[in-house]
Structure 1
Amino acid sequence: MFLDRVKPLDAILATAERKSLHRTLGAFQLMLFGIGCIIGTGIFVLTAAGAQKAGPGLMLAFVIAGTVCIVAALCYAEIASMIPVAGSAYTYSYATVGEFIAWTVGWALVLEYAIAASAVSVGWSGYFAGTILGDTFGISLPVSLTAGPLALGGAPGGFINLPAMVIALLVTWLLMIGTSESAKVNAVLVLIKVTALTAFIALTLTSSEFDVARFNPFLPAGVFGGWGTGVGAVGAAATIFFAYVGFDAVSTAAEETKNPQRNVPIGLVGSLLFCTVFYILVAAGAIGTIGGQPIMGPGGIPFPAGSEELARQCALPQFSDALVCSNEALAHVLREIGFGAIGNVLGYAAILALPSVILVLLFAQTRIFFVMSRDGLLPEGLSKVHPKWKTPYVVTAITGVIVAIGAAFFPVGQLADIANAGTLYAFAMVAVAVMVLRRTDPTRTRSFRVPALMIIGPVTVLGCVFLFLNLPLEAMLVLPVWTLIGCVIYFGYSRGSSHLGRGIIEVPEVEVATTLEPDIPGIADRNRD
């Protein structure tokens, strides 16, 4: 019953061909798109949360998370070049393991993009409050207006993160009225971010403050912090994984890519490798200059990142300048080693560039909604286009309000963990889809083939499960609850409204002949023009 609807791959490609967007993007633009979406809150903000979980072992955490992403990217590269359409993991699952699993993947992607956008908004808020208001204008916003109250043990006194909510709503409004970033604007923003991080690496690694002794002990919380604790190098990797989220967004642009069979793999793997090297160097520079040892709680276990206990410790004089206590980690490091002006410039770079990440995430989610609506799994009204703005304003507004609420009331670390849960599920299903297609459609042209797939595929799945099980328990529980809600919607509405279930399937016209078998057992092919 659950796996009885697999959409023919030729039908998916035909639908995309008839309703596709203009193909304008090349390999270099895709790499810039990937780098622009990857480099964001993860490295600018979560460096502090990662250090609190793993200490100097943060560098190992980047390696662990990066390794899982690299093998996942190889799977994405093969299937995205084969199926160069919008919809990402949702579409790939639809063509391999069926509609129900595809629905759960698409539903998880909705969670990923929305919560990730909230997390980036919170990250932007930290830099705005610290660099713009604090260091530039000398204005100090009260904690009640810069921290949300709904964290599990969140910062004391928090009521609402006002800057985070405002930036989320502002980006939503820009998307609604039709303002989107062009390839040129994106390239400029990527240049700003890469330049800022390059300057950070150069200044920290050559600083007289750099001392290898700061890396000892390298793993103060060990490699494994324990199931459900979210600490240790692996626990930090499960959180830091968020720093890599975004490379999969390259696949959502496959339908707008020239020669996608060649350019999509280059964009996916190239952007990921570039960012991995950057992250490791940034972590080394930050820890080597001001240290990154976590603040330990009872039993030698680090206080949870974003917790009330950690907030109280950070309020003490001896920890006020600690890396793990900063809301704007990289700018804070530069100020501590005597480069305050450059630290402010880096803060300005984050303030300027992070809204573009929010925009890309919200844009990607609307694409997922669009494709699910095109398949009949969501009401067509969600993709209703505004007569003046020519944008899907209904779904954009709904998404924007949800993102703003999440940004207003939750801390960045907790949001990142929740977003990671949905992402890890989607990544694992992409690996499954690649392995299934190798068996069910072995003769189809593959311009890129995952080497040693029977090793890489299972490693990707196991790596995603491994990181998922090392998320904090609260974040792990969000995904099954969210999936349960999705199942109610699927069986209550989507299954009955599905185009595939109703026999509405588009296929290439040249193949509409007596050679076609019924697409669904018991349902004859409909007449096609």
Structure 2
Amino acid sequence: MGKELERDLGLFAVIAISIGAMIGSGIFILPALALKMAGPAVILAYLAAGLLVLPAALSKAEMATAMPEAGGTYIFIERGMGPLLGTIAGLGTWFSLSFKGALALVGGVPYLVVLFDLPVKPVALGLAAFLVAVNMLGAKQTGRLQVGIVAAMLAALVWFVGGGAGSIEAAQYEGFFAKGAGGLFAATGLVFVSYAGVTKIASVAEEVENPDRNIPLGILGSLGFTTLLYVLIVFVVVGIVPGEALSGSLTPMADAAEVALAQPGVVIVVVAAVLALVSTANAGILSSSRYPLAMSRDKLMPDSLSTVSDRFNTPTRAISLTGVVMLALIAFVPILDIAKLASAFQILVFVFINVAVVAFREGDVEDYDPAFESPLYPWTQAFGAVGGLALLTQMGTVALLGSAAIIAGSAVWYVVYVRDRIDREGVARDAVRRSMGRRVVERTRSAVDGAGGYEVLVPVTEDTSEEREAALLGVAADLVRQGSGTVRVVQFDEVPDQTPLEQASATQSPADIRFEERTDRLAADVDVPVEYGEIVSHDTKHAVVNFADHHDTDVIVLERDSTPRRFGLLRNDFEWVLDHAPCDVLAVDDRGFDAVGVLGIVTDRGPYDPLKVEVANALAAQVGAEIELLYPVSPSATPERRETLRDYHAELESVCSVPVESRLVETDGDALADLADATHAVDIAVVGDDGGQVRRTLWSRSHEQIVDESETPSIQVYPHRSRRPGPVGKLLERLAF
């Protein structure tokens, strides 16, 4: 067991870290930029941004009291939505926090330049190195430093508001909404990042004493206070500095102090700005360094990053890595542009946070027992998620592309490094799997309850043997026997194009006579209406489809074409019929239907197609057989996944009218081969088309491989396209299952 971190951060330290992570570039740099977008309504932009952050703050406070561990956002998203999104959230948030910390230092130095002639980068590098060293010494020292910094900074800002209020001119607020709702919304998206630090305290939750109380109070208290302070500060700044002078300034607070408070005020504001931006960087190092620590513990990053110093009781390697990244950014990277990209990703992470709460609650996780629960669930989370996505649209193309790049890079890291090292999944996936399973079960129930009264077409040719026709007719009769349908056995004769159809149809060959005689004989053995006939055409596949369409056929039962088509590029008549049939199609591979006691329904991945269950239930009911559900699982499948699959099978059992057994087929490597082996224990394997026309054109079909490698007679089920989920629905089903 790895060494744990000491809980020595009290409520005031929690509030100080949260406020310190917020008050920085958001108020000392962004007001001038946001003024360009919204005009004086920038005041409301700060208020609106605070309201949009509230759902994520509530959600994170809830999850932090349920899982007070180092890592914050990463922990919550990874546990709730799985390792892939956890990796994206962890790496992306760590990356963006490092950027924001570097931006805070670079953004703070221009305020010093107001008073002193200093080089920006060397000073920023020196401050970064100092803060990294402080963080190495311990969270308590960091928390104490943060409390001191924040206290001095807040005193200066409150003095600024009080002293500047007397210089406000009402004329400055004229044309308050001149930029319109679009400008206000765009400004809200820009200043949203001013509040991103509100939830950062959750990343050091493992070091907070009495987390059930201090984390919610710290997060919500700091958000409320900071929102009020932001609105008051921006109200004063806009009211005392002419818009043309303020717009685009890199030091808007100093400009306002120069107008209202003279030189002493400028000095105090500069001190406050430097303290604020240093505290932002300090809080950024403290919180962001815990992401590599938490991810390392979960095997998403190298083990060395989870090392906790025996001397300082801090994750020194994680802090060192974060410090190196920040120093490199300050020295070599244009921070402002990249920080905007990282801020856009922060908005996306806030969306993830809201969704993660829904995943935990709807997933009914046994160990999820938060001491604090977000009010107005799930409307609070829905508002936060939708609002965050709406704000993303205002961040600009570069920011969106940058966020996409961060997501792609994190996903590549997951595939290359993480995927083979873990065997867990998030509760959201299990919740989605259960939800999709219930929907599929309801579709299956409707299909099974509505079964019967089929109009079935059995197409044969001159080359079809009596044994083959008997097998096809037997399957068709079992389907029809449930209702008042009809079986039509039709022999399709194909003649050369140069032969007139009238001439060909007027000539009765010995083969035609044999077809009529054997069909009469076979029809006598089944107690369902059987009609038979003969169709002469120049193209059999078109004739079969046209006949089925003209006679309102529900199911075509035909002989399986076993011609190997590994890549399906040369499609034959069988393929064409599957793609153009106006109804469902069953392809029978008769390897000797003897006594049938068990029908196995097979799926290689995803839920069972309702038509497969409908057909298997109808056939089993007629021959007195039972059904066995065969589903592949890997040895590393989580207990939650196995339990969900068993529950899904139990729900399907309640749908069927015959006995049903559940079998999870253990597979380690070649799932299709293991499924083929599993079918040896059943008398008929009912398999299905898992792809559709596009998949058949590009790849070998998995169900064909199962049938080819099995010695068991099979029935392949091809639902009509109207009964299949669309590409997106199918993809979601396969990902969830």
TM-score above 0.5: yes
How far the C-alpha of 1:184 sits from its partner, in A, is 3.0
Alpha-carbon distance in 1 for matches of 2:169, 2:353? 42
Structure 1 residues 471-492: Cα deviation after superposition (integer angstroms, max 9, x where no partner): 1221111111111111111111
Alpha-carbon distance in 1 for matches of 2:242, 2:163? 15
Instruction: Give the 3 Å change call, closer, same or farther, for CA 58–192 of structure 1 in structure 2.
Output: same
Instruction: Give the 3 Å change call, closer, same or farther, for CA 523–350 of structure 1 in structure 2.
Output: farther
Q: In structure 2, what is the equivalent of residue 261 of structure 1?
A: 212
Instruction: Give the 3 Å change call, closer, same or farther, for CA 39–335 of structure 1 in structure 2.
Output: same
1:288 maps to amino acid: G
Q: Which moved more, 1:77-86 or 1:272-281?
A: 77-86
Please point out which of 453, 457, 470 is paired with 2:394.
470
1:481 match: secondary structure: helix
Q: In structure 2, what is the equivalent of residue 297 of structure 1?
A: none
Q: In structure 2, what is the equivalent of residue 214 of structure 1?
A: 172
How far the C-alpha of 1:395 sits from its partner, in A, is 4.0
Q: In structure 2, what is the equivalent of residue 356 of structure 1?
A: 279
CA contact (8 A) 1:375 1:499 kept: no
Matched, 1:198 2:122: no
Task: Give the superposed CA RMSD.
Answer: 2.7
How far the C-alpha of 1:283 sits from its partner, in A, is 0.4
1:468 maps to amino acid: L
Matched, 1:396 2:319: yes
1:406 maps to amino acid: L
1:188 maps to amino acid: G
Q: In structure 1, what is the equivalent of residue 144 of structure 2?
A: 184
Which of the pair has more CA radius of gyration?
2
Instruction: Give the 3 Å change call, closer, same or farther, for CA 177–71 of structure 1 in structure 2.
Output: closer
Q: In structure 2, what is the equivalent of residue 49 of structure 1?
A: 33
In the alignment, structure 2 segments of 5+ residues that lack a partner are 426-637, 643-665, 669-737
Matched, 1:407 2:330: yes
How far the C-alpha of 1:272 sits from its partner, in A, is 0.2
Alpha-carbon distance in 1 for matches of 2:206, 2:354? 20
Alpha-carbon distance in 1 for matches of 2:257, 2:335? 22
Structure 1 residues 30-82: Cα deviation after superposition (integer angstroms, max 9, x where no partner): 22221222212211222222223322121111012111111211111211111
CA contact (8 A) 1:242 1:419 kept: no
Matched, 1:280 2:204: no
Q: In structure 2, what is the equivalent of residue 271 of structure 1?
A: 222
1:189 match: secondary structure: helix
CA contact (8 A) 1:119 1:411 kept: no
Instruction: Give the 3 Å change call, closer, same or farther, for CA 255–392 of structure 1 in structure 2.
Output: closer
Alpha-carbon distance in 1 for matches of 2:280, 2:172? 33
Q: For 1:292-331, what aligned pairs fall within 5 Å after superposition?
A: 292=243, 322-331=245-254
How far the C-alpha of 1:411 sits from its partner, in A, is 5.7
1:265 maps to amino acid: P
Using CA pairs under 8 Å that are at least 6 residues apart, name the structure with larger relative contact order, 1 or 2: 1
2:300 match: secondary structure: coil
Structure 1 residues 129-188: Cα deviation after superposition (integer angstroms, max 9, x where no partner): 223x1xxxxx3x6xxx65xxxxxxxxxxxxxx4443443344335545769744333222
Alpha-carbon distance in 2 for matches of 1:442, 1:392? 30
1:248 match: secondary structure: helix
Q: In structure 1, what is the equivalent of residue 376 of structure 2?
A: 452
Q: In structure 2, what is the equivalent of residue 342 of structure 1?
A: 265
CA contact (8 A) 1:86 1:371 kept: yes
User: How many residues are treated as equivalent by the alignment?
Assistant: 432
Instruction: Give the 3 Å change call, closer, same or farther, for CA 24–427 of structure 1 in structure 2.
Output: same
Alpha-carbon distance in 1 for matches of 2:220, 2:270? 28
Structure 1 residues 361-419: Cα deviation after superposition (integer angstroms, max 9, x where no partner): 11211101001011111112344567877754544344333323433456665344222
How far the C-alpha of 1:461 sits from its partner, in A, is 0.4
CA contact (8 A) 1:174 1:180 kept: no
Matched, 1:252 2:176: no
Alpha-carbon distance in 1 for matches of 2:125, 2:260? 32
1:428 match: secondary structure: helix
Please point out which of 229, 238, 246 is paired with 2:189.
238
Q: In structure 2, what is the equivalent of residue 11 of structure 1?
A: none
Q: For 1:17-96, what aligned pairs fall within 5 Å after superposition?
A: 19-96=3-80
Q: In structure 1, what is the equivalent of residue 559 of structure 2?
A: none
2:279 maps to amino acid: S
Structure 1 residues 95-126: Cα deviation after superposition (integer angstroms, max 9, x where no partner): 22211111111122122211111211121121
Alpha-carbon distance in 1 for matches of 2:16, 2:137? 25
Alpha-carbon distance in 2 for matches of 1:27, 1:391? 20
Alpha-carbon distance in 2 for matches of 1:172, 1:25? 18
